[in-house]
Structure 1
Amino acid sequence: MRIVCVVGLSSWIFQADAAEWSIQPRLTISETYTDNVGLGGGGFGGFGGSGRGGGEFITQINPGVNITGEGRRFKSSLNYTLNNLIYAKNQRFESRNQLSANATAEIIKQYFFVDGRASISQQNAFLFAPLALDNTNRTGNRRNIYTWNISPYVRQRFSNLASGEVRYTHGEVSSSGNSFSNNSSDTAIFSLNSGSAFRTLGWGINYSHTEISRKSTGSGFGSPGTISLERATGSLRYLVSSQFSLIGTAGYERNSFLSIRGRTSSPSWTVGFSWAPTKRTKIDASGGKRFFGNTYAASVDHRTRSTVWNLSYVEDISTFGQQSLAGGSILNPSMLGQLFSGVQGSEALLSQGFPQSFSDPNNFLTNRLFLLRNLQASLTLNGRKNSLVFRAFNYSRKSFSPDQEDMDLVGIGNAALTRNTTQTGGNVLWNHRLSPRANANINFGYIRTSYDLTSQKDDSIIMSAGLNKQFTSKINGSVMYHHLRRESDRNNGGYSSNTLTAMVSMNF
C-alpha cells in the first residue's frame, strides 16, 4: 500500500504523457568477518579480541532494483533491496526489506501537484544499547522503520503581486519495536508571499496546523493521545541593497500537548538578515523568542573552485515520527551528495564506501515530544587526486513530555536517562583517487553522547579504511575495514569490534 501511494501517483498520466523509464536490476554479494557480532563488552583487544559477542562470518546476498521514470509532468524513482544475511557460526538466516521511493506529479499544469515518499529502513533504536554500523551486527538494538506520506498542493501566482501555496500532507510512521507509539500526522499549510512588485519591502503570511495521532503504548500511563501544533506568522523583508536584506517575523503559536516544562503556547518573533555578497556565498541568521524560550537559526554556504563550506543551526519542537519523515539522519543521501559533489570517485563512495550512518548522531526511538537543537558544519577540500572532508555536529534533544510515555518502551529508568541528551562529534574523511576506476578512503569519526540527568557519557570511535574498484561499467568491488569502539561511564556500556568486508556489486 505504501509503495502504491508513492509510485502510483502519476500512473493516471502514463497513457497521455510519454515517459522514459529505466529498470535496473542489481545484485550485491559480500562476505564479512567480525570479531564481535553482538557488540558485547568485555575487552578492547585487536582482531579476534575478547568481546563477548563472539566472532562470526556473515554472507550477504542482496538482490535489488532501481526504477526511475520521468515525463513532462511527473517524475518518480524506486530503490529496493532485499537484504539477506547468512550467519555461519550461529547458523541463522535473516532477511530485511530496504526501500526508498518518491514521486511528484503535476496534475493540473502549473497549478495542482502531488508529492509522495515511502521508505523502509533499519536503525539503532536506543542510545544506551550497542550501536551497530549496519545490519550485520546482531545487537538486539536494530528496528525496522516504516514511513510514507502523500502531499497534494496548489500553487497560484497573482501576477507580480504575490504567489501562494495551499498544501495538505498525510504521513505515517511505524516501527517493529514493541511499545513504540506508531503515529500518523495530518498537516495543513498556507503561505502567501509578495511578488516582484514589492521589491524594497516584501511581506509574507504563513500558517500551519499539524495533528499527530499516536496509538496507545499499552502502559499504565495511558494513551499518549493526540498532539496539536499550530503556528501563524507574518514576515517583512526590507531590501537594504541588492545583496543584503533585513528580515523580521511575528506571530502566535498554539500547541496542545502534555508538557513538563510549562506553557505550550505564546506569541513568537524573530529578527535577522540575509546576505549574499557573491554568487557563491550566502549567509542567513536570525534570533528571537518562542514558547520554549530564546530561539536561533543560521546557515552559511560558500563555494570556491576547490572548497565547499557549510554551516547550519536549527531548533524546533519535534517528534521521532517527524524526524523520520524528514529523513531521520542528519546526513541523509541528499546531503551526502552535496557533501561529496565534485569529489573524485564520489559515486563509489556513496554507493558502497560507507555504512549509511557513519559517524552520525542517532535519531533514537521515543514516544515523547522534544526540543531539537542541531548545529552542524562541514568543509570539503577537492583536489585532482585527493579530497578531504571535515565535519562536526552538536545534536541535542530536550524532552517536553513525561518520562512515563516511554516507560513501556525502555523502562522508567532509561526513560529518565534519555530525558535530555546531547550528541557531539564529527569525522575526518580522506579520499584518494588511485586511477580513473579506483579510489581509497580513510575515515575517522568520534561521537560523545551525554546524558544530562546523570552526567554519564559514552565515547564512540569509528576508524575505517576502504578500497573501491570499478572492474567494468556494470561491476564494482570493494574491501572495507571498520574498527568500532565505545568507552562508557555506565556499567557494561563499553565494547569494541573489528570488521572486514569484501563486496562485489553487479548491475544488469
Structure 2
Amino acid sequence: MVIMISLKPRGLTVLVLLTLPVAAMPSDLNVTPTLRLRSSYSDNMNLAAPEQARSQFTSEISPGVQVISSSPRLQLALSYTLQKIAYTRQPDRTAQQLDASSHAEVLPDWLFLDARSGISQRNVSAFGPQLIDPTQQTGNSSTVHSTAISPYLHHYFRGLATATLRYDYQRVGSGGLLDVRSNAASLLLTGDNGGKGWNWDLSLRRTEMDDAALPPVTMSNASLTLSYPFNSSLSSFVTAGYEKQDYHSVSAQPQGQFGSLGGVWTPSPRTRLAASLGHRYFGKTWSLDASYRLRSMFWTLSYNEDITTNHGEFLSIPPTGLSDFLYELWATRIPDPQLRIKTIQLFLAISQAMGKDGNVNFFSHRYYLQKQARLSGVYSTPRTALALHLASTGRTAQTSSAIDSVLTGPDQLTLTDRTRQDSVQLGWNWRTSARGNLTVGASHSRARSLSTGRSDRNTALTLTLTRQLSSRISASADLRHVRHTSSAGGNYRENGAGIALNMTF
C-alpha cells in the first residue's frame, strides 16, 4: 500500500511516499532519527554586488529522519530534514530537504510500485546569482516540490513476451512559479526468442500534460525495435515509429515518423559502448552511451538529444554509475554501509558544487530541444579518490517565450530562446585516518544566451574536513570561495565558513 505523510510548515504540503508491501513491515527496515547543528559565516550572504555585500552569521538546527530498507520486496531510501535557520541581520526562516525513492513488489511477479518524492532549493535561472549553500538567500532561488508515483504490471509469458503495463503520475510545483502535472500510460512488450536470432520490442505511450500556465498538451508515440545479436559481444538494432505532440511549436510541427539504427558492443564485462543514429521531426539525431571500468577507475561518456521540459528534467533519474562504483570499491575502506553512503554523497556533492551537472535546469514553461553531453570519471586508491565531471547542455526553444514573462521579466523574453551551458567539476578526497576525511572541490561553469549574447561565469572552491567522533556522532568544518561574473553586470564574490555536528539516534 502507499502511505502518505502530510507535513504543513507555513502552509506548504509535502508528500513523503513510502511504498510498503501489504503483508508486513520488512524486518530489515532501518529508521534513524538525525540531528544536525551548524554555525556558519558568510561575508556576502545574499550574493550581492561588492558595494551591497553584507556579512552575517547563521545558526542552524535540523532534525530529520533516514529510512532504509533493502528487503527482496521493498527497496526504500528516504532522507528528510527540517531546517530552522537563524540569521543575525534578517528574519529567521524554515526550509525542508527531502530525497525519497522506493520500489515495492506488491504481488509477486505481477504488480509493482515505484515512487519518488523530493524537496530542494533550486536556482530559477542560469543567469544571475547562483545558490550553492542552503543558508543563502537570493532572488534567483525557489523551493521545488516533486512527486512521482508509478504502479505497473510486469509479467513474463513463456515463449511469447515479457509485458509491462505502466501508469505514471508526476507533479512538480514551486509556489506561483511552477505547477505541472502529467499522467501517462504505457505498454512495453519484449519478445521471447530463447536468446537466438532476431528479437523485438513494441512500445506504446500516451502522456497528458497539465501546466497551470498553458493549455493541456497530449503526447503519444508508438515504436517497434528489432535487434539482432551477431555474437555474445556485438548486436545491432533498428527502430521505427510515429510520434505526435500537440504543443504550439514555433518551428516544425511536432509530429511525424521517426527511426534510428544503432548497435551495442560489449567486449568484456568492464567495457560497454552503445550508439545510434536516426531522424525525428526536428532533424537528425544521435546518441552515445559508453562506460569503461578497471579495478580502481571508472569512466562514463554519454550524449543524447531529445525534446524536454523543465519539470521533466527535475524528475529525471541521474546516472548512478560513479556512486555504485565507489560503494563497491570502498567496502573495505569504510565497512559501515551507512557511513560509506554518507561519505560518497558528501564527496560527489562537493565535487559537483554547482549542481549535479554544473548546469542549471532553469525554470520555464517552454518545450526545448536539448542536446547534452557528459563525461564523468573516478580514480581511487586505498586512501584517496579523484572525480572529474564535464558537461555541456544546449537548449533551443520550441515554443513561444511570452509564457515565461513572469519568470524572466518582460524585458528578457528572448534570453532563453537558445542557451548553452558548459561546466567542469573536480573533487579530491583524502582519507586522513580511519575516522577522518578531507575533501576538496572545484567547479567552473559558463551560461551563454546565444540569442542575446549574455554570458555568465561561476567559479566555486570548497574544502570540507569531516571527523567521526563516535559511531553516532560526526563533526565537520567547511570553507568556500565563490565568484560570479556577467556581461550584464551584477558581479560578486563570496567567502563562507561553517562548523557542524551531526548526530544519529
Q: AA paired with 2:183? A: D
List per-residue Cα deviations over 1:467-486 (Å, max 9, x = no partner).
11111111111111111111
Distance in 1 of aligned mates of 2:158 and 2:413: 54
Q: Does 1:26 align with 2:34?
A: yes
Residues 243, 335 of structure 1: CA spacing in aligned structure 2 closer, same or farther, 3 A cutoff? Answer: closer
List per-residue Cα deviations over 1:348-397 (Å, max 9, x = no partner).
54454545961321111111111122110012111122211121010122
Distance in 1 of aligned mates of 2:345 and 2:236: 42
| Corresponding residue SS for 1:380 | strand
1:127 shift after superposition:
1.7
| Corresponding residue SS for 1:435 | coil
Distance in 2 of aligned mates of 1:152 and 1:347: 28
The percentage of counterpart residues that share the same residue type is 26
Q: Is the 8 A contact 2:427 2:442 kept in 1?
A: yes
Residues 18, 444 of structure 1: CA spacing in aligned structure 2 closer, same or farther, 3 A cutoff? Answer: closer
| Corresponding residue SS for 2:406 | helix
Distance in 2 of aligned mates of 1:74 and 1:351: 22
- Determine the structure 2 residue equivalent to 1:45: none
1:28 shift after superposition:
0.8
List per-residue Cα deviations over 1:116-144 (Å, max 9, x = no partner).
12111111111222101022112122211
- Determine the structure 1 residue equivalent to 2:111: 112
Q: AA paired with 1:427? A: Q
Distance in 2 of aligned mates of 1:385 and 1:356: 17
Distance in 2 of aligned mates of 1:425 and 1:357: 10
- Determine the structure 1 residue equivalent to 2:255: 265
1:102 shift after superposition:
2.6
| Corresponding residue SS for 2:232 | coil
Within-5 A mapping of 1:51-450:
52-69=52-69, 71-90=71-90, 92-176=91-175, 178=176, 180-197=177-194, 199-216=196-213, 224-327=214-317, 334=320, 337-338=323-324, 340-341=326-327, 342=329, 347-352=341-346, 354=349, 358-359=353-354, 360-450=358-448
| Corresponding residue SS for 1:225 | coil
TM-score, length of structure 2 as denominator length:
0.91
Residues 413, 364 of structure 1: CA spacing in aligned structure 2 closer, same or farther, 3 A cutoff? Answer: same
- Please give the root-mean-square deviation of Cα atoms over the aligned residues, in Å: 2.1
Distance in 2 of aligned mates of 1:466 and 1:212: 42
Residues 73, 162 of structure 1: CA spacing in aligned structure 2 closer, same or farther, 3 A cutoff? Answer: same
| Aligned with residue 502 of structure 1, among 490, 499, 503 | 499
Distance in 2 of aligned mates of 1:102 and 1:269: 33
| Corresponding residue SS for 2:414 | helix
Distance in 2 of aligned mates of 1:272 and 1:250: 12
1:156 shift after superposition:
1.9
Distance in 1 of aligned mates of 2:23 and 2:370: 41
1:108 shift after superposition:
1.8
Residues 159, 395 of structure 1: CA spacing in aligned structure 2 closer, same or farther, 3 A cutoff? Answer: same
Distance in 1 of aligned mates of 2:399 and 2:410: 13
Distance in 2 of aligned mates of 1:261 and 1:240: 41
Residues 357, 87 of structure 1: CA spacing in aligned structure 2 closer, same or farther, 3 A cutoff? Answer: farther
Q: Structure 2 unaligned runs (5+)? A: 7-14, 335-339
Distance in 1 of aligned mates of 2:453 and 2:325: 34
TM-score, length of structure 1 as denominator length:
0.90
List per-residue Cα deviations over 1:45-100 (Å, max 9, x = no partner).
xxxxxx5231111111111111234555333343210011111233x211012222
Q: Is the 8 A contact 1:133 1:355 kept in 2?
A: no
Distance in 1 of aligned mates of 2:442 and 2:422: 14
Residues 52, 81 of structure 1: CA spacing in aligned structure 2 closer, same or farther, 3 A cutoff? Answer: same
Q: Is the 8 A contact 1:110 1:155 kept in 2?
A: yes
- Determine the structure 1 residue equivalent to 2:488: 490
| Corresponding residue SS for 1:363 | coil
List per-residue Cα deviations over 1:211-266 (Å, max 9, x = no partner).
111113xxxxxxx1112221111111111111001111011111110111121101
Q: Is the 8 A contact 1:134 1:355 kept in 2?
A: no
Q: Structure 1 unaligned runs (5+)? A: 43-50, 217-223
Residues 77, 441 of structure 1: CA spacing in aligned structure 2 closer, same or farther, 3 A cutoff? Answer: closer
- State which drifts further: 428-437 or 267-276: 428-437
Residues 385, 487 of structure 1: CA spacing in aligned structure 2 closer, same or farther, 3 A cutoff? Answer: same
- State which drifts further: 441-450 or 274-283: 441-450
Q: AA paired with 2:486? A: S
Distance in 1 of aligned mates of 2:216 and 2:53: 41
Q: Is the 8 A contact 2:350 2:440 kept in 1?
A: no
List per-residue Cα deviations over 1:151-177 (Å, max 9, x = no partner).
11111212143211110111111112x
Residues 11, 113 of structure 1: CA spacing in aligned structure 2 closer, same or farther, 3 A cutoff? Answer: closer
Q: AA paired with 1:183? A: V
> How many residues align structurally?
483
List per-residue Cα deviations over 1:281-335 (Å, max 9, x = no partner).
11100111011111111111111011101111122111111111225xx57xx46
| Aligned with residue 10 of structure 1, among 2, 7, 20 | 20
1:11 shift after superposition:
5.8
Q: Is the 8 A contact 2:21 2:74 kept in 1?
A: no
Q: AA paired with 2:323? A: G
Q: Is the 8 A contact 1:438 1:470 kept in 2?
A: yes
Q: Is the 8 A contact 2:351 2:426 kept in 1?
A: no
Q: Does 1:38 align with 2:46?
A: yes
Residues 348, 119 of structure 1: CA spacing in aligned structure 2 closer, same or farther, 3 A cutoff? Answer: closer
Q: Is the 8 A contact 1:172 1:183 kept in 2?
A: yes
Q: Is the 8 A contact 1:19 1:72 kept in 2?
A: no
1:340 shift after superposition:
3.9
- Determine the structure 2 residue equivalent to 1:451: 449
